[in-house]
Amino acid sequence: MSEIVLEGGVPLRGSVGVLGAKNAVLQQMISTLICPGWHRLSNVPDIADVRALMEVMEHLGVRCDLADKELAMVVPERMSVEAPLELVRSMRASILLLGPLLTRFGEAKVPLPGGDDLGARPVDMHLNGLRQMGAELELVHGVLVGRAPRGLEGTEVELPFPSVGATQNLMMAAVMARGDSAIINAAREPEIEDLGVQLEKMGARLSGVGSPIIRIVGTRNLRPAAHRVMSDRIAAGTYAMAGAITGGEVTITGCEPAHLRMELTKLEAAGCEVERGEGWLRVAGPHRPEAVDFATLPYPGFHTDLHPQMVAVLSVATGTSVITENLYDGRFRYVGELARMGADIYTEWQHAIVRGVESLSGCPVMATDIRAGAALVIAGLVADGVTSIGGVEHIDRGYADLVHDLSGLGARIRRQDMNNDDRTRLFGW
Ligand code: UD1
């Protein structure tokens, strides 16, 4: 099995570019289903989740071609409405197929995504919203079978929590529904706005996207569109934190600093110098970070997908930080692995107390999800000696080439097939 192997101790310096956001492109691939024809997405990262969704789309009958960051999709007039279990099992975003398929074809069969590496992750808000729009949904042997023989009806849906996915599912469903819809307490993430822009290019009539109340006037007068996917704020934040922990200076291009307002404020509080420009940002790390408290919250709060990376930075801070995780009960799974590297972290319920230590020491660790993997890499950048990170397939879901990008900044990092002899050589085990 391939692992990421790195030797810590090099301050990162230089410039790194980021591409389109995983959490925007997946939804934008799915939204093409509402309208037949030739759609194009640009700035598309070649990550495992995009490839997996391409397979799902192809199974439905969509022709997909990804080359040189351009994804062309030809959506046919007639297509399958059944998503294949083996392809969607590992991808939670597949629940988003329900809205577009139901609104356009009046039927859909999508296996219910189970829990994943971040915990239970229910989909009740997606289902309740679609039911309010007139869909009949039942769970048959693990598959959500949806019917709306007379199409979906525009209505007002109030979300109990501003769920990103439920907001997106209902936006895509409402665009083609009969009459007017409103999503109250909608999520305000930049990825929602970017989906709104793409849908508008397709002829959808939306207002208030990016605010807590989105209004949509249903229309069947839609056309295919070309759209550039917004930049990946989580990748940009990951590289900022990688630069910060090493005390180096990293410039990140192709990003939107305004999308990282809270996270950059916290990096500044930790002693980093941050410069922001149009489409770029520069982070210079301190000799040693200072402790900072933060709580993850929906946008514009601190993003849960940058929580593990920030904790890696704070694990070597000069004091004690208090972290509150408000989104996922499984988010702290990386803590045990950071502890093996010498981090002093105590977790209780949704809180972590991070007592900064002077140094970490490299050892074999295992990534349990995408961002946990990124956090372990960040910790490895300052750890004494060698760190090897297994579970690289998680990291590949969200980062096109983390190893290449970090080695471009000077990190001593490589990808390597590891066996027990290699481990004995590296760690004396
Ligand atoms: C998206 C992102 C994910 C990010 C998250 C929060 C994608 C592909 N994934 O996930 O990386 O961490 O936003 O910014 O874009 N919930 C329910 N019932 C529901 C839906 C959600 O209880 O029907 C809960 C979830 O368990 C979670 C919270 O609401 O605790 C937020 O989830 P949500 O905003 O829906 O996240 P996703 O869209 O799944």
The whole-angstrom separation of Cα 362 and Cα 3 is: 14
Helix (H) or strand (E) holding 312: helix 307-314
CA of 118 to the centre of ligand 1 (A): 10
CA of 164 to the centre of ligand 1 (A): 6
Task: Name which of 285, 334, 282, 276 is nearest 306 in CA terms.
Answer: 334
Q: State both tokens at 372.
A: 């946990």
Q: Is the CB of 121 under 6 A from ligand 1?
A: yes
Q: Is the CB of 397 under 6 A from ligand 1?
A: no
The whole-angstrom separation of Cα 18 and Cα 257 is: 12
CA of 187 to the centre of ligand 1 (A): 10
Q: Is the CB of 163 under 6 A from ligand 1?
A: yes
**Catalytic site residue from 46, 49, 65, 116:** 116
Q: Is the CB of 299 under 6 A from ligand 1?
A: no
Q: Which of 124, 130, 161 to mutate to test the pocket of ligand 1 (most atoms within 8 A of CB)?
A: 161
Q: Could you give the C-alpha distances from 188 to 133, 161, 162, in angstroms and in order?
A: 22, 11, 8
Our answer to whether residue 293 is catalytic in this structure is no
pLDDT in tens, the chain (429 residues): 799 999 999 999 999 999 999 999 999 999 999 999 999 999 999 999 999 999 999 999 999 999 999 999 999 999 999 998 887 777 888 899 999 999 999 999 999 886 567 766 789 999 999 999 999 999 999 899 999 988 999 999 999 999 999 999 999 999 999 999 999 999 999 999 999 999 999 999 999 999 999 999 999 999 999 999 999 999 999 999 999 999 999 999 999 999 999 999 999 999 999 999 999 999 999 999 999 999 999 999 999 999 999 999 999 999 999 999 999 988 999 999 999 999 999 999 999 999 999 999 999 999 999 999 999 999 999 999 999 999 999 999 999 999 999 999 999 999 998 887 887 877 876
Q: State both tokens at 123.
A: 């989909």
Q: Could you give the C-alpha distances from 267 to 173, 292, 294, 321, 379, in angstroms and in order?
A: 38, 8, 11, 13, 16
Dihedral (C-alpha) 291, 295, 301, 306: value to the nearest 10 degrees? 70
Helix (H) or strand (E) holding 23: helix 22-31
CA of 53 to the centre of ligand 1 (A): 18
